[in-house]
Copies of this chain bind each other. A is one copy, B any other.
């Protein structure tokens, strides 16, 4: 096949214009692998395109004599169409169709930078006669728009099926493009029992090729944290193997690398709340409509996001049944039933479960997902003082989850009246901060509900003191979700990938053999030393693993584990072994130390603790330096624009908070319009920190005025632009 030059995006667009084919603007997004990622990237880049059916382009190579000219087969089909390679081979009278190698891909579609960039639109014109081009009948007969890539997997164009046919007809000499009804083809093909579908994933590279290919296409995080934070975040999560996209938008797979961190949080937190007398239980995930609507005000906020089960098997249910968005109305009727005497108080229950909030806004892994994991604690007390104390006990545990486990600094405080959970008396929070964006983020909340729900659901007892009569219980609720993992990634990650705190990392130490020789069996002593080191560390309770994978260079492995955020790498080669040392490289800052092998477990344990502390301190310094007391309004917007959280002398009035938001918003827009940037959100209150002293006395002492309204200031209050998470403060 003659070498042709690479087609450009512009060439494709020009051809469309020439053919008078109308189409919406090209959508740019992150590069994607496979349809799940594509759908997700599309829905992020252009929500209106989220439901557009996708296409797929497959390049097959039949079995031919090595010397023969390759006769590749390129198929463009709806992503949902099954394209059985055996039947296609039979149709074309070709043998054993296999997915093409990267080399062949490059030959057929020179613009394709990788196998993920294979796009039929990028075929050269005219199409070589040796190429079989088959187009899906279901696709070209459709008047619906379908998504196709241009020359790379990072851009999408939407075209009508009939227009797609016109496009390819213009590329093909002779009768035009060959249209195939794959459904019919499949139906007529002999059904191979339990036969594999054609493998529509990358052909496996040889170890050497794998190294090269992976170095080139998979290893690097494609975005800089400072330049494209959102692209960086997604890429780090995917390549760090924290999660994978799923074929239902807004749902993600928590892979062991992230789920295990959640388990560590669970184990620690569960132990602590059990010391407080809390017991775990499990309520059904389903809620009847009647229950859900029992308290209309409470549910009003959730209603637009409730997922409804209306059918089981082929039967419609008599009444739709909701999936819990949270469990107040699920649990409290039973509190009313179970609490009959003051002896039944306090009742302290917690659930580890998943809840569903079918948000229609852009999903974001961990931060805004349709299903998420959390714990929800629901407690009831006879006296308010006990409830108040528990609110703070739990908040302190949440603080420790962030600071001690995830090495993420947070500020404990109270929410303003505007920002508190509407159903409760007051809300406390631990507030985090994402330095890259300068945004605040709510870490976890602990609410005092007062008697609001106990009056609704009649959770009441006779007081043991007769004169007090019947008393309604005082209730709390408190929740921490997998959002915490997203905050951890955003705070610690860097341009190389994840950076995981040792206390929660599934793997704390990776041992990589270095200085390897090429001869067979020559490296055994090094491998043995690595395994011995692994055993020693594991025996000491350190989560260590030797990476003895063959076919990868040490450099490739370094990159791989850096991307995955393993806190500490130990290198072991002939020289280290001779010197009875190992080279320790910490992920945090790439700092290198040489550690003696004797007593290595203790050395590593201490070092991991140091890393944990350093990660926290580094993040805390950053947070502290961006926590800026401002007493002059003129400084508000510039300080916000410099990605800071404001600390303002404030009157704590709700209307004043609205005014601050509005005033900082309009000024921000004005300021930023000059830079042609999108309008920025105004500042809302994040919390009133419990530790007021850290900000010092008010400059004007007792006479300090509120920065916005001029009334008497009550407290230093944190204001900032907040990270988009689930809308409801209740989480």
Contacts and interface: CB of A to CB of B under 8 A. Distances in A.
Interface stretch (A69-77, A285-293, A607-615, A680-688): A285-293
A533 to B, nearest CB: 19
A310 B313 contact: no
A288 B458 contact: no
A303 interface: yes
Contacts of A304: 313-314
A658 interface: no
A334 interface: yes
B254 A201 contact: no
B309 A371 contact: no
Given A307-B312, A455-B194, A260 B280 contact: yes
A271 to B, nearest CB: 11
Contact of A354 (B51, B285, B307, B460): B285
A323 to B, nearest CB: 7
Interface string A195-221: 111111110100100100000000000
Given A308-B310, A320-B311, A334 B201 contact: no
Interface in A272-288: 279-288
A11 interface: no
A186 to B, nearest CB: 14
A360 B314 CA distance: 12
Interface residues of A, number: 86
Given A306-B312, A308-B309, A341-B210, A201 B458 contact: yes
A144 interface: no
A693 B320 CA distance: 55
A312 B308 contact: yes
A552 to B, nearest CB: 9
A247 B291 contact: yes
Interface string A495-508: 00000000000100
Chain A residues touching B, majority SS: mixed
Contacts of A198: 458
A594 to B, nearest CB: 30
Given A279-B260, A290-B247, A304-B314, A285 B371 contact: yes
A283 B291 CA distance: 28
A202 to B, nearest CB: 6
Nearest to A342: B204
Contacts of A280: 256, 259-260, 263
Interface string A236-252: 00000000101110011
A461 interface: yes
A252 B313 CA distance: 21
Contacts of A457: 197
A702 to B, nearest CB: 37
Nearest to A482: B282
Given A196-B458, A201-B337, A201-B340, A282 B259 contact: yes
Interface string A301-331: 0011111111111110010110100000000
Per CB-CB distance, the 3 closest pairs between chain A and chain B, nearest first, are A256-B279, A312-B358, A251-B284
27 contacts: A196-B458, A200-B458, A201-B336, A201-B337, A204-B462, A247-B288, A247-B290, A248-B284, A248-B286, A248-B287, A251-B284, A252-B284, A253-B284, A253-B334, A259-B279, A259-B282, A285-B354, A286-B370, A304-B313, A304-B314, A305-B312, A305-B313, A306-B313, A309-B310, A312-B358, A323-B323, A353-B354
Given A201-B336, A305-B313, A313-B358, 19 more contacts: A34-B337, A194-B456, A195-B455, A204-B340, A204-B461, A204-B462, A247-B291, A248-B284, A248-B286, A253-B284, A256-B349, A263-B280, A286-B371, A308-B309, A308-B311, A309-B309, A310-B310, A310-B311, A323-B323
